[in-house]
Amino acid sequence: MARRRAIEADELFETANRLQAEGKDVTAVALLDALGGGSLRTIYKHLEAWQQRRPPVTVSTTDEIPGIVQAAFANAWRLATQEAGRQVVAVKEKAAEEVAAANKQFQDALDVVGKLESESEADAQQIEDLKAKIVELEVTLQKSQTESATHGATAEQLNHQVKSQESELERLHKEIDKERSERDTAIKEASELRGFSDGLKTQNAELLSKLGRK
């Protein structure tokens, strides 16, 4: 079974730009499908670099707020932040804890995905080895069957080995199907956790930005 070559950063950037141009969400799962496979850990690493390279979205306005309105707003904001001052620290700490917890859960899920990917690759290689061994045994069995009857015991033994290897191959196929299901579940959970983490980071950044205006 041929393994997909490692995903390069430029390849992922190009795919991410294409998905964005098509109006699609640029997520790790979407990139995994668009790239036709690969390591989710590598995809997340390059995706974060791609997100950092994107130019920030700026909003410009031609309407100027009158000075008196600005002063009134600034005064109201100052009074509001003073009133809520005792709660600000607790809110900031809670937001930071939630972000840290979400990041920890995301990293744990990502580690599980990496482990499942490694196990899947190892099982795939073992299946290829078993297939090659089965072919070799079948060739040897056919050769043995054309020889003297004195080799009957050897042929029977080889036949038994072939059946044993076929049983092992079937077992491995079932294990890989199970691991793939577990990997898909882990990928989905990791993507949801990353989205939750990003949302918390955004909320925390907005809160810190507001607090900085005091």
Distance (Å, whole) CA 61 – CA 44 = 35
What pLDDT score does 120 carry? 74
Please count the other Cβ atoms lying within 10 Å of the Cβ belonging to residue 28: 20
Distance (Å, whole) CA 90 – CA 84 = 11
pTM of the predicted model as reported, rounded to 2 decimal places: 0.44
pLDDT per residue as tens digits for the range 146-172: 765 665 667 678 778 888 888 888 998
Structure tokens at 132: 């090659």
First to last CA, the chain: 61
For residue 201, what is the enclosing H or E element? helix 152-211
Fold of 85-214: Helix Hairpins (1.10.287)
What pLDDT score does 1 carry? 47
Domain borders along the chain are 1-56, 85-214
What pLDDT score does 210 carry? 78
DSSP 37: S
62, 70, 133, 167, 200 from 59: Cα distances, Å: 10, 19, 65, 64, 22
What pLDDT score does 62 carry? 47
Distance (Å, whole) CA 214 – CA 206 = 13
154, 206, 211 from 73: Cα distances, Å: 94, 18, 15
What pLDDT score does 68 carry? 78
**Alpha helix segments (H runs only) across 62-151:** 67-83, 85-146
pLDDT averages per 10-residue partition of the chain, 214 residues: 76 96 94 92 94 68 64 72 61 66 74 77 84 85 69 72 87 86 81 80 81 64
